Structure 1
Amino acid sequence: MSSKGEISTFIQKYFLHFNAASLVDAAKAYEDQLANNAKMLVSLAGAMSTAELGKIFAEMIRQDKVHIISCTGANLEEDVMNLVAHSHYKRVPNYRDLTPQDEWDLLEKGLNRVTDTCIPEEEAFRRIQQHIVAIWKDAEAKGERYFPHEFLYKLLLSGVLEQYYEIDLKDSWMYAAAEKNLPMVVPGWEDSTLGNIFASYVLKGELQAQTMKSGIEYMTFLADWYTQISTEGVGFFQIGGGIAGDFPICVVPMLYQDMERPETPFWSYFCQISDSTTSYGSYSGAVPNEKITWGKLDINTPKFIIESDATIVAPLIFAYLLDM
């Protein structure tokens, strides 16, 4: 048993009730999953990459505490954008006080706002665009097809972005994932800046849509991966809601209902960090037990929901798992 550091000791001593206690329980159960050789899927929704989760999430990847990732197209690209354009980001701590004119002024400066942080259009999006488009076109010329994350892995590992690096490479979770060739699914990738850019090249006749592998292919890949890996269990750690969580969790009922494989094991652990409200009919806010009725979780699956801010909770859980 590894010794725990100051952060882990602090939360065990003081996080004793309500959402704080749920955080500790979920962290300990995640640790138990790993100790029993189960694998863990982590899903990333929201603006986790812009929140610089990579500062700790990258180490989770390096230490093999994450075995597959499901994320939005925005999280996929925004970690790379932070890597190459961090000094050009602008923080707006008084974002609640901005007027429509203030927002328009940010647009004219090429600053796309995500809550209190503005992503610089020219330095982030366009800096990546010239290089990723060249990789897309090269693949198409060779008759090759890849998933969105595979193209970004190629971009990162090619070294062409090194001239732009503005943060320590160890703080990029995408680079850590690329080095390990970590399995990933990116449902709804088209709803991202690079997805929009790719679509524009298809509209202009410069690329073919089929050069990019599709969401259905992501699901069939995930089905094969889960079938091969799940003998000792696969846990599900969900940050936020939305398609990043909804898409991959459905692979289990798809396998045993639609593929008629009754031996398919349920997810062996489930934790969600969410601030969504169940009474609005929000699937993202549904309590874990509801997932039993959909054939995703078993009666005995360890289940946790932490109704709090993921930018606060996720780093603390990861710190516990890293013995910090």
Structure 2
Amino acid sequence: MNKGPVSQFIEHHYRHFNAAALVDAAKGYERHLIEGGKMMITLAGAMSTAELGISLAEMIRQGKVDIISCTGANLEEDIMNLVAHNSYKRVPNYRDLSPQEEWDLLENGYNRVTDTCIPEEEAFRRIQKHIHKIWKEAQDKGERYFPHEYMYKLLLSGVMKENYEIPVEHSWMIAAAEKNLPIIVPGWEDSTMGNIFASYCIKGELQPSTMKSGIEYMVYLSDYYKHNSGGKGIGFFQIGGGIAGDFPICVVPMMYQDLEMHEIPFWSYFCQISDSTTSYGSYSGAVPNEKITWGKLDIHTPKYIVESDATIVAPLIFAYILGW
């Protein structure tokens, strides 16, 4: 593939330290795909609010991503940005805010994520009225779905199209829905939509069983892994840390040790973008070699770690893979 100006800049200037690790990881990702491998991307933090969709959606459309694991926040915040972008408020001086100023933001309906405030009424409530209807219809029919499947139903129904405030090609969730991309959403319950769903259960309007659980996600993932890990295998591209990465990477030792499927292959590529510190006993900061001891990675698995800001690094790696 002929590389564009962004890729050429990266190759020319990014020669050492974390910059070189970025290039190595991008080339390893590209090589993995060329050799017939599949790739999982895991999204932690607030990558959707960081508008990673501008590059991630194109990665999905071009078949550079086969499965995603993300927090419930990233699942919903891409859609929130889609329907309420114009009402978001940026606070560049967020480090200087006093407790009173933070309180004022709350009183005005803003929930702050670093320098970006999500408008509660426009974002959460605009989605809530539509997703509640979909949840209720499923329950009335005796049907059960995963959190991401309900979101796919919402997007593919087109009921919110008139509210779109960004180009649809910048929404990774729309790209994923159109491809019916497999998504794993561990710990969905701690997201805003998860909290809202729980509130309906407490009020007796919905049943918890209408939403498929985290255990069912692990069963779903094990089936996916079993049927897609042949040949070159499945790579693991981890953005940040936390449950979005910790949950899915465990599927391999679970299948090998607990199901005694000794023929199951290890993850065949691993990269993490992280600034977490390994000496703190952090799973998120664990260097790739530690994962060998847990039966997640092989000795020969290509391993990369870029100790930097994912909001800077991930779009650059994606740009390189896309040939921009």
| TM-score, scaled to structure 1 | 0.99
- Residue 65 (structure 2) aligns with: 66
1-structure distance, mates of 2:142, 2:35: 42
- Residue 287 (structure 1) aligns with: 287
Tell me which amino acid in the other structure corresponds to 1:200.
S
- Residue 275 (structure 1) aligns with: 275
- Residue 203 (structure 1) aligns with: 202
2-structure distance, mates of 1:184, 1:159: 20
- Residue 144 (structure 2) aligns with: 145
The number of equivalent residue pairs is: 323
1-structure distance, mates of 2:60, 2:87: 27
The unaligned stretches of length 5 or more in structure 1 are none
Q: Deviations over 1:202-236 (max 9, x none)?
A: 00000000000000000000000000000021000
Is 2:104 aligned against 1:120? no
Deviation at 1:149, TM superposition (A): 0.2
2-structure distance, mates of 1:150, 1:10: 39
1-structure distance, mates of 2:245, 2:90: 28
2-structure distance, mates of 1:260, 1:279: 32
Secondary structure, counterpart of 1:113 in structure 2: strand
| TM-score, scaled to structure 2 | 0.99
Deviation at 1:199, TM superposition (A): 0.2
1-structure distance, mates of 2:9, 2:166: 29
Is 2:215 aligned against 1:216? yes
Greater than 4 Å deviation, 4+ residue runs? none
Deviation at 1:178, TM superposition (A): 0.2
1-structure distance, mates of 2:55, 2:301: 27
1-structure distance, mates of 2:286, 2:225: 24
Report sequence identity in percent: 76
Secondary structure, counterpart of 1:286 in structure 2: coil
- Residue 319 (structure 2) aligns with: 319
Q: Deviations over 1:123-174 (max 9, x none)?
A: 0000000000000000000010000000000000001001110000000000
Tell me which amino acid in the other structure corresponds to 1:97.
D
Tell me which amino acid in the other structure corresponds to 1:226.
Y
- Residue 301 (structure 2) aligns with: 301
Deviation at 1:80, TM superposition (A): 0.1
Deviation at 1:42, TM superposition (A): 0.1
Secondary structure, counterpart of 1:83 in structure 2: helix
Q: What is the CA RMSD across the aligned residues, in angstroms? A: 0.3
- Residue 98 (structure 2) aligns with: 99
Tell me which amino acid in the other structure corresponds to 1:258.
D
Tell me which amino acid in the other structure corresponds to 1:153.
Y
Deviation at 1:248, TM superposition (A): 0.2
- Residue 4 (structure 1) aligns with: 3
- Residue 180 (structure 2) aligns with: 181
Tell me which amino acid in the other structure corresponds to 1:256.
Y
- Residue 226 (structure 1) aligns with: 225
Tell me which amino acid in the other structure corresponds to 2:241.
G
Secondary structure, counterpart of 2:235 in structure 1: strand
Tell me which amino acid in the other structure corresponds to 2:48.
S
